[in-house]
Structures are given as structure tokens and as C-alpha cells.
Structure 1
Amino acid sequence: MFKILKAEHLAENIILMDVEAKRVAKSCLPGQFVIIRVDEKGERVPLTIADYDREKGIITIVFQPIGASTHQLAELKAGDTILDFVGPLGRPSDLVYEDIEELKKKKILFICGGVGTAPVYPQVKWLHEHGVGADVIIGARTKNLLIYEDAMREVAENLYMCTDDGSYGFKGNGSQRLDALYEEGKSYDHCVVIGPMIMMKFTCMATKKYNIPTVVSMNPIMVDGTGMCGACRLTVGDEVKFACVDGPEFDGHKINFDEAMKRQAMYKTAEGRALLKFKEGATHHGGCGHCGGDK
């Protein structure tokens, strides 16, 4: 059992929890995720690690209650426990493996939207702790959905806030803020984009225009988190990948976002899962237990 040490609302329908998970905190790196299960009847839920404290053995998760399991998780308070808290899973951010002196020469930009701001934070924090500066754009539909402004301001070299409705900061989305930065004379050598699928798709179109190598996190399409169900199958260039075991981070300019979003919608229904099994044949993992692909 894993004890919840803190539970609070960051914004409308966005919840932060600190969980005591010493073994996960000891070995995790930015970009990785955990799988949680509230109780014996609960579904497995993959959540990207939003922060960690190795000394205290604490992992921070941030999520939106959407399905039954995340609504059940949202009902828990400090002092309650979670049955399963498995991790760290997935491949860490490539940035943590690069030479620090080479990283210091790069102009790095993070563009995040909504809940995607949370997994950006540990990457920017890690860079800051190693003397590497990075700019960050945080975007949301409106002011009351923005999160992590104060925490991010402490670790980012420059922080740019934006809202679609103009209620706070720059009026526009992350890709429009990027356009404005380039008009101001800024330029970047590397970009990391994390947020809703549609946001990542259009932001990658913007970074491609400026020839900025771009990495995205495909955590939003994960279901099982172990490579068994096949829900997070996607095409990267001319290769089939699975976000949970091959990622969750990939070259954003190589991902077929339209295919991934269409597949994500189909996977939500029994008929859609059966059709995916028929179309994908031997490359369909089918370990979800719902479509018969594992038979």
C-alpha cells in the first residue's frame, strides 16, 4: 500500500497528489511514468511523474478525473492509500543522457498545454539543477486552467504564459506564442512539446516550419502501460512503435498524429477494437483481453 501525503486541486478538475513511493523515487528520471491501481477492482492507470524527491521518497502525480478509476482516485485524501504504484516505467527523456556541456550550448524550449505542464516541470527542473537554461511556454484555454506557474518560474530561464481567450498572458495558443517569439528575434535548437494530442500535432507543425527538432510525449494514448494491450500503437516514420515500452517520448515530426487520434477513438469501443485486430493482424498485441487479439 502506498500512502497519499498530499492531495490538492491545482485548477478546475486538475488534481495533484504526493505519494510515498520510496523505491520509485530512488530510481526514476524525468520523462518516466508510473502505473497506479486504487484497489483490487480498479483499472490500471498510467500517469507521468510530475516531480520526485529522492530523500523523502515522494512521487508527485497530476491528473484529471475522466474515467471511473481516476474519479475514484480523485476522492482520496491525504492519509488514504493506493493499492499499486508501479514504476518507474518507460524511457527517460533523452536530455538526461546528453553531455551537460553540449546541452548548455543549446537553446531549449518546452511548450506545454493543460495537464501536460506537469510532466514538463521535472525536465526543466533537472536541467536547471545541472546548470542548463530552458524557456517554457505554458498554455491553457483560460486563466483558471493554468497550472505550475510559480514552480516553473523558479526553474525556467524565461516563462511565457498564454491563454486562448486572452484572460491571462499572451492571447493565443502555444504555437502562436512560438511564432511571436520568432518575430521578436528568438530561435531554438530543441523543443519538447507535451499536452493534448491535437495540441501536439499543431505545435509540431509550427516547430517544423522553423526546423526545430521536436520531441513529444505520447502518454495520452497509453492504457495498460506494459506493451500488452496495443492501445498505444503508433506509426513513427515507417516504424510501428508502442508508447509505453518504446517511449513515451518520440520525434514529433515523424509521428502520424491523425492515425494515432483515429486509432485512439476506435479503441474506446468493442467494435473498434475488433476492427483494429482485423486490420493490424500479427502486429496487433491484443493483450487488453477485450478484442480477442491475445487468443
Structure 2
Amino acid sequence: MYPIVKKRILAPGIKLLEVKAPDVARKAQAGQFIILRIDEPGERIPLTIADFNRDEGTVTTIFQEVGYTTQQLGRLEEGDTLLDFVGPLGRPTEIENYGRVVCVGGGVGVAPIYPIARALKEAGNEVISIIGARSRELLILEQEMRSVSDELLVSTDDGSYGHKGFVTDLLVKVLQEKKVDRVWGIGPVVMMKAVSEATRPFKVPTIVSMNPIMVDGTGMCGACRVSVGGETKFGCVDGPEFDGHQVDWDLALRRLRMYRDEEARALAFHQEKRGGCQCR
């Protein structure tokens, strides 16, 4: 069992859990993920590692409550336990001194971009970070990102904080004004596609972290297939990071939508079993 040692509410529907998992923390690196299961009948879900503390033996995950399992996860409190917490999984980010890099995080994607920006800064890079959300109240980890960046730019869709518009607006402006050696973009698939298209004319290598449907996380089931450069890759063992200019984004979006109806029915079913209560 894996105890929850810290819980924070970062924004409406976005929560942070710090979990005691010494074996995972000891080997965790930026860019990797874990798969957790709350209890015996529970669903296995992948979550990117947002932080880790080797000395304390803890791993931090940040998630948005969008389906039944993440809502159930969000109702847990400090002292509660998780049945399974498997990882670290996936290939870690390739960290080296590239020169000047830009780290772009959108929505909950700011969580996994944080350890990447930190590792790139520690490797000697000049780190320009761009983070965004739909509104100010949904923006997360601003101070944490500022602490690992030489420059931090912020955007909100509604203009309630920072630049009014999208993270790609700020990215293009940076690319026009400065020589950039590499870009990382993490967030919703449509945002990562936009980041990749924004950098393509500038011929800047662009890395994205894919979040396909995933079951076992070890390459056996094939559910997490991603087409990259015309070849089939598995998000769990070949990724989760891929060349954004080579990803088949239309296929990725179609695959993410495959089980939307089933997910909605499952959420409605479990909410009805709980009497419609979504408290705690």
C-alpha cells in the first residue's frame, strides 16, 4: 500500500497528491510516469510524475478530475492509501546542455513540464518557460516554474492574467526574437499540435509528451499506439516523448475520442450509485 502524505488543491478540479513510494522515487526522472490503482476493483490510470524527492521517498502527481477514477482519486485525503503505484515508466527526457530552450505547458501540462524545466536548468540551459490556462484561477505552479526559469511568460485564454490568448502566441514571439535550440510542449493534444506547427517554420526541434489511451504501461497491450514518422510507436515504452513534427496528430485525436461515450456512461453510472453525491 502507498500512503498519501500530502494533498493540495491547486485550482478548481486540479489536485496534487504526494505519495510515499521510495522505490519509485529512487529511480524517477523527468519525463516519466506512473500507473496507479486506488483499490482492487479500480481502474489503472497513468499519471505523469510532477516531482519526486529521493530523500523523503515521495513522488508527486497532479491531475484534473475529468472521469470517475480521477474524481475518486480527488476524494482521497492525507493518510489514505493507494493499492498500486507502479513506476517509473517510460523513457526519461533527454537532458543535456542544448543552449537556449523553451518549455511550454498548457493547463495540467504545466505539472510534467516543471521537472523537465528544472532538469534542463540544472544542465546549464537558458530556460524560457511559457505556461497558460483558460483563466487565472486554473493556472498552476506559477512560482515553481518561475524558480527554474530564466524567463517566465504567462497567458490566459480570457485575458484574466498575463497575455490574452494562447501559449503559442507567446512562443512565436520568442522564436521571432531569439535563437532557440529546442522546444518542449506538454498539454492537451490540440495544444501540443499547435506548438509543433508553430515551431515547424523555424525548424526548431520540438518534443511533446503524448498521453494516449493506456492499459498495462509495459508495451504488451498495444492500446497506446502512436504514429510517429509513419511508424507505429507505443507511448508507454517508446515514449511518452516524441518528435512533435513527426506525430500523426489527426490519428492521435481520433484515438483519444474512441471511448468517450463509454467513459461518460461509466461516470454517470458511478455517480448514480453514489446517489449523485460529488462531495468531499
TM-score, normalising length: structure 1 = 0.85
Matches within 5 A, 1:85-104: 85-95=85-95, 98=96, 103=97
**Percent identical across equivalent pairs?**
52
Which of 135, 141, 144 aligns to 2:137? It is 144
- The one-letter code of the counterpart of 1:253 is H
Correspondence for 2:20 = 20
1:169 is matched with which residue? 162
Q: What is residue 254 of structure 2 aligned with on the other side? A: 262
AA aligned to 1:222 is: M
> In 1, are the aligned partners of 2:63 and 2:108 still within 8 Å (CA)?
yes
- Whether 1:208 aligns to 2:208 is no
2:220 maps to amino acid:
M
- Any idea what the Cα deviations from partners look like across 1:151-201, whole Å, max 9, x if unmatched? 111111110011111110111111111122244x22311000000001111
**Is the aligned partner of 1:113 residue 2:106?**
yes
Contact 2:100 2:181 in 1 (8 A): yes
Find the counterpart in structure 1 of residue 186 from structure 2: 194
Q: Is contact 1:231–1:264 with CA below 8 Å preserved after alignment?
A: no
CA contact (8 A) 1:112 1:120 kept: yes
Of 220-229 and 248-257, more deviation after overlay is shown by 220-229
Give the partner amino acid of 2:18: D
Q: Which moved more, 1:142-151 or 1:128-137?
A: 128-137
Q: Distance in 2 between matches of 1:215 and 1:149?
A: 22
Higher helix share: 1
Greater than 4 Å deviation, 4+ residue runs: 267-270
Alignment of 1:1-295 (within 5 A): 1-95=1-95, 98=96, 103=97, 106-183=99-176, 185-268=177-260
How many residues of Structure 1 are paired with residues of Structure 2 in the alignment? 262
Query: Unaligned stretches of 5+ in structure 2?
Result: 263-280
Letter aligned with residue 210 of structure 2: M
Distance in 1 between residues matched to 2:230 and 2:209, nearest whole Å:
18
CA RMSD of aligned residues (A): 1.5
1:220 CA displacement: 4.9
Unaligned runs of 5+ in 1: 271-295
User: Structure 1: which amino acid aligns with 2:105?
Assistant: C
Q: Distance in 2 between matches of 1:72 and 1:117?
A: 22
Equivalent AA in structure 1 for residue 172 of structure 2: D
- Cα distance in structure 1, aligned partners of 2:255 and 2:123: 39
Query: What amino acid is aligned across from residue 140 of structure 2 in structure 1?
Result: I
**Aligned letter for 1:30?**
A
- Looking at structure 2, the residues matched to 214 and 243 of structure 1 have their Cα atoms a distance apart, in angstroms, of 17
**Amino acid across the alignment from 1:28:** A
